[in-house]
Amino acid sequence: MATVKDEAESRPIKCVITGDGASGKTTLALKLQDPDVNIASCGYIPRLCDLFDRKVKLENGQEVDVGIWDTAEDEECSRLIGLYYLHADVFILTYKVTSSIQLDNIRAKWADKVRFIVPEAPIVLVGTHCDRNKDENMEDLLKTVAKDVKASQCIEVSAKQGTNIEELLREAVKLGIEFRERGEPKIGKKSKCHLL
């Protein structure tokens, strides 16, 4: 007879992507699910929340099932979004590297929502569109936001060019496994956030 613990360990790692609208969440989710997808021609229309499944092979050879949850930022549905956060193993909070406003909204809005539902879950800050020129003040703001939200990792990606997509997924899965196994991620007073 399977125990509750066995069932929790056998379910896919739940990775929830959230952040401001137009921060690149859906494009990132599609690329995380299939790195070879052609975003321009796939005709995907996002909904309130979409779930993409994928197997990830870690450096140690272990294969892990991952559920990638893409959430929409919609004021009408904001009360429902918290339901999608339940039982998450890791959160990816997105912002465009060209928008200090979106990065600041992670601290002002998104991290609080995440921490309210799953207080100890690891957070990965993901700067999207790294193929574009950054806002000049982003590095200092990123350090401050990462510290304030106790981010476990910060990564810049480009879904268009495929930059750091696989690295992000492997890192998120490792953090999710660690969170599930220990019941707590490696976050603390000092953020270990660094750009890959």
Residue 183: per-residue pLDDT: 67
Q: What does DSSP say about strands 49-57 and 63-71: parallel, antiparallel, or unpaired?
A: antiparallel
Query: What is the pTM assigned to this prediction?
Result: 0.87
Euclidean distance between CA atoms 40 and 36, whole angstroms? 12
Question: pLDDT 10s per residue in the chain (196 long)?
Answer: 443 344 455 789 999 999 998 899 989 999 999 988 887 666 666 665 678 899 999 989 999 999 999 987 665 566 777 788 999 999 999 999 999 999 999 999 999 999 999 999 999 999 999 999 887 789 999 999 999 999 999 999 999 899 999 999 999 999 999 999 986 544 443 445 555 5
Residue 179 is predicted with a pLDDT of: 96
Tally Cβ neighbours within 10 Å of residue 38. Answer: 8
Q: How far apart are CA 78 and CA 99, in angstroms?
A: 22
Domains and CATH numbers, the chain: 4-182 (3.40.50.300)
Question: 3-state DSSP call for residue 41?
Answer: helix
Alpha-carbon Rg for the chain in angstroms: 16
